Amino acid sequence: MINGGLNTKEVRLKAIEMFAYWEGVVNASTLAKLFKVTISNITKSLTEYRDLYPNSLKYNKSLKQYEPTSSFTCHYIDETWQEYVAFLRINSQVYKSDYWGALAVDFGPLHTGNVDPKIVRVVTQAINKKLSVKATYYSLTNPNGIERIIHPIALADSGVRWHCRAYDEYRSEFRDFHLGRITAAELNEPSKVQYEQDEAWMTMIKLKIAPQPALTESQKQVIMMDKGKGDSFIVEVRAAMAEYYIQYHLIDKEIRESNPLVRPLYLENYDEVKAWLFG
């Protein structure tokens, strides 16, 4: 079901625009399936949208669908690919079963890894209720596991796994804990730790990423085609998550004189941000 359900008029009008802008068609029956309501209810929303923006949509009688006119403009969506992908993800089941078909969209495998829902529930409750957590955590330095008292402040997606950002009493510092490496967890005492105390979490840094200098100009242009125009691009991330972004996107930290295609992108401003990176 579409994000937001039927709570607001804006949600329905936004869905109408999403279909019109990205797919060139607004079909009442498709919207009815997304919202799980009758077509008559959706027709009212389409009428309302056309009353608000009279020259935006035209009705194609032969195909029984609305289509954007040449003067169509967006009022509710931001027209970004990221927004549309989020829309597809939320409504993927309807797209696969009732709309495009089962093979028409593939988001790839989930990357949540071996995460126990019981563990995550403890962590999320700790964040919400401001409690510490007694957890058994496994790491390469402690492969047999060790009991830790952590103070969760946030959840973070590194691209390949989910982390809990927390203050660690064992090491007296804020650290990242892979949720999949926690095998036991229970709510503990109230925590006075605030996320504002975590400098690496609060600090936003800019990573300047560019094609390896040893590449040919044509190769650089190809690499930059999906990154934007120019000779480099900027990504703003939390300092605590910077290393994960670099690892996930296979970005080199140094210039590679030989075999630049092994890792065609490198971190151009490494010296500026290295204090926030691992090792």
Residue 204, H or E segment: strand 204-211
Q: Identify the band that residue 6 occupies on the pLDDT scale cut at 50, 70 and 90.
A: very low
- Give every CB contact of residue 161 below 8 A, 6+ residues apart in sequence: 111, 112, 113, 178, 179, 180
Average pLDDT over residues 90-95: 85
Instruction: With cut-offs at 50, 70 and 90, classify the pLDDT of residue 9.
Output: confident
What pLDDT digit, counting tens, does each position of 130-147 carry?
Answer: 999 999 999 999 999 999
Averaged pLDDT, 77-106: 87
Q: For the stretch 131-162, what's the b/e string if a residue is b when 16 or more beta carbons lie within 10 angstroms of its beta carbon?
A: bbbbbbbeeeeeeeeeebbbbbbbebebeebb
Q: Identify the CA nearest to 277 among candidates 255, 250, 244.
A: 244
Three-state secondary-structure class, residue 199:
helix
Question: Mean of the pLDDT values across residues 114-133?
Answer: 94
Taking 90 as the threshold, does the pLDDT of residue 94 lie above it?
Answer: no
Q: CB within 8 A of 103, min separation 6: which ones?
A: none
Which of the four pLDDT bands, split at 50, 70 and 90, describes residue 4?
very low
| pLDDT at residue 41 greater than cutoff 60 | yes
Q: Is 132 helix (H, G, I), strand (E, B) or coil?
A: strand
Average pLDDT, the chain: 91
Q: At residue 229, does pLDDT exceed 90?
A: no
Q: Which two tokens stand for residue 193?
A: 């730790």
Residue 5's pLDDT band, with cuts at 50, 70 and 90, is: very low
So what's the pLDDT on residue 250?
94
Per-residue pLDDT tens over the stretch 248-262 = 999 999 999 999 999
* 3-state percent helix, strand, coil for the chain, nearest multiple of 5: 40, 25, 40
Q: What span, in angstroms and rounded, lies between the C-alpha atoms of 233 and 245?
A: 14
Q: What is the largest CA-CA distance in the chain?
A: 70
| Residues 151-178, mean pLDDT to the nearest whole number | 94
* pLDDT attached to residue 1: 40
H or E, element range at 183: strand 182-190
Q: Assess whether pLDDT exceeds 80 at residue 112.
A: no
Question: Could you give the CA distance from residue 100 to residue 189 in angstroms, rounded to a whole number?
Answer: 50
| pLDDT given at position 189 | 97
Q: Residue written as tokens 């969506």?
A: 77
> Which of 273, 103, 107 minimizes the C-alpha distance to 200?
273
Residue 230: pLDDT over 90 = no
CA distance 92 to 214: 42
Alpha carbons 18 and 3: distance in angstroms, whole number: 12
d(CA 146, CA 65): 61
Residue 2 has pLDDT above 60, yes or no: no
Phi, psi values for residue 226, rounded to 5°? -100, 10
